[in-house]
Chain A
Amino acid sequence: MYILHYAPDNASQIIRLMLEEMGLPYRTALLDRSTRAQDSAQYRAVNPTGLIPALQTPDATLFETGAILLWLCDSHVSMAPAPGAPGRADFLKWLFFTANTLHADSRLLFYPEQYAGSPEAIPAFRSACEARIHRDLGLLEALAASAPDYLNAQSPSALGYYICCLIRWINLYPTDRTGWLHLANFPALYALALALQERPAALRVSTAEGLGSTIFTAPHYADPPEGSVI
């Protein structure tokens, strides 16, 4: 039995979608962000970095979204090319591109006050971030259009869920820029988002975290039954 330490509509959502899609038994442990539970001594004992998510397995505790994702794929030989399989090299490079470039650029966009240095610098900072995110998504659009095994609208994939969750958050945050990204300009990613949000796994996570029906293509702010998004 896995234990996913989560907060609604946080990065833990990527892992929860995978656990649901793989049909693995797990339970959740809520981190109440309104009381900064991620900074508590109890959670720091699980994850010394205080970042969300963490996944407890019978043998070890994992953190870092990309690490958990890859470990789940390899442990259950599911949702990504296995080590040594054709497509593994390409999958790895786009996984790290997503984690290090798209995810990193998104984080800068979400928290400009943490990164831009001064309030005066935020507008320039924000336009630079948005330009990089358009560039990143352009590359992923070309990849999705070529429909490799590890990223296509016909079958659920770890990389597909990862990218679609990022697209969701890019359109929701920061709150004064909601909806700035026009996903229709990226037709292959749009088709991917549409297909994944209709999966039973996605519907279950949507219900559990209060995400509404069009979680990737036209996201709304979460209204979770428990916990706090920020």
Chain B
Amino acid sequence: MYILRFSPDSASLIVRLVLEELGLPYEARPINRDAGELSSPQYRALHPLGKIPAMETPHGPMFESAAILLYLSDRHPGLAPAPDALDRAAFLKWFFFTSTNIHPTLMEIYYPERVAGEAAAEAVAVHAAARMKVLLAALDTAAEPNPAWLSAYKPSLLGYYVAVLMRWLGQNKPSSVAYIRSTDYPALHKVVAMLEARAATRTVAEAEGLGAQPFTDPI
């Protein structure tokens, strides 16, 4: 049994979608952020930096979204190439690309003041938004041939990861420097539009109040 420590619409969402899609038994246990639970000794024992998500597993506590995703997918096959599969290499490079390039850049767009203080926040966001468009264009090109690990026809680990990142980008206002919609990236748009109709997505969207089109028209 996995226990996912979550907060609605935070990075725990990616893991929750994958747990649902794999049909695994799990408990989604909310984090009381208002009461400062992220700083509590109990939560810090799960995640020393007090970030979201953390997940309790039979192998001990885990953190880092991408590490949890890869751990789950290697234990419960179906959403990504297995460690000895021929297309594992292609999957891994774009999975790491998403996790180490796209995801941190998104955090710079969302929390630019964390990078260099309030005074530089606007400039940081402008730089990050410009980089984001280049990164997404590269991933869109990789998705064009419809690889199994980022397909428009079947659910995938990387697809869900990208879908949630697209959701958060799509929440920016049209006036924002980082106003980016999934439709700007045709191959990625097909992937996330397909995932939006999955039963797993419907279940999680209901549980976390994400609306009818959580990836293509997020609220």
Find out whether the CB atom of A88 lies under 8 angstroms from the CB atom of B123: no
Q: Nearest-CB distance from B60 to chain A (Å)?
A: 6
Q: Are A124 and B116 in contact (CB under 8 A)?
A: yes
Q: B57 near A: Cβ within 8 Å?
A: yes
A101 to chain B: which residues have CB within 8 Å? Answer: 49
Contacts of A118 in B (CB 8 A): 120, 123
Which chain B residues lie closer than 8 Å to A97 at the CB level?
63-64, 67
B123 engages A121 (CB within 8 Å): yes
Known contacts A121-B116, A139-B49, A103 near B88 by CB under 8 Å: no
Contact of A116 among B60, B63, B115 (CB under 8 A): B115
A92 touches B70 (CB 8 A): yes
Q: Which residue of B48, B67, B116, B138 contacts A92 across the interface (Cβ within 8 Å)?
A: B67
Within 8 A of A (CB), among B12-68: 48-49, 57, 59-60, 62-64, 66-68
> Using Cβ atoms and an 8 Å threshold, which residues of chain B touch A124?
116-117, 119-120
Q: Which of A48, A63, A88 contacts B59 (CB 8 A)?
A: A88
Q: Which of A47-89 contact B (CB under 8 A)?
A: 48-49, 57, 59-68, 70-71, 74, 82-84, 86, 88-89
B123 with A117: CB separation less than 8 A: yes
> How many contacts between A and B, using CB within 8 angstroms?
140
Q: A49-B138, A117-B124, A125-B115 are in contact. Are A66 and B100 (CB under 8 A)?
A: yes
With a CB–CB cut-off of 8 A, which chain A residues contact B75?
Answer: 84
Most buried by B among A57, A89, A104, A116: A89
Say how far B59's CB is from chain A's closest CB, in angstroms: 4
| B162–chain A nearest beta-carbon distance, Å | 16
B126 at the interface (CB under 8 A from A): yes
CB distance from B185 to the nearest CB of A (A): 15
Beta-carbon contact of A48 and B138 below 8 Å: yes
CB-CB under 8 A for A100 and B86, given A89-B60, A121-B123, A124-B117: no
The answer on a CB contact under 8 Å between B74 and A84 is: yes
Interface string of B68-107 (1 = CB under 8 A from A): 1011001100000001101111101101110111011000
- 8 nearest interchain CB pairs? A117-B123, A121-B120, A125-B116, A64-B96, A96-B64, A89-B59, A67-B96, A96-B67
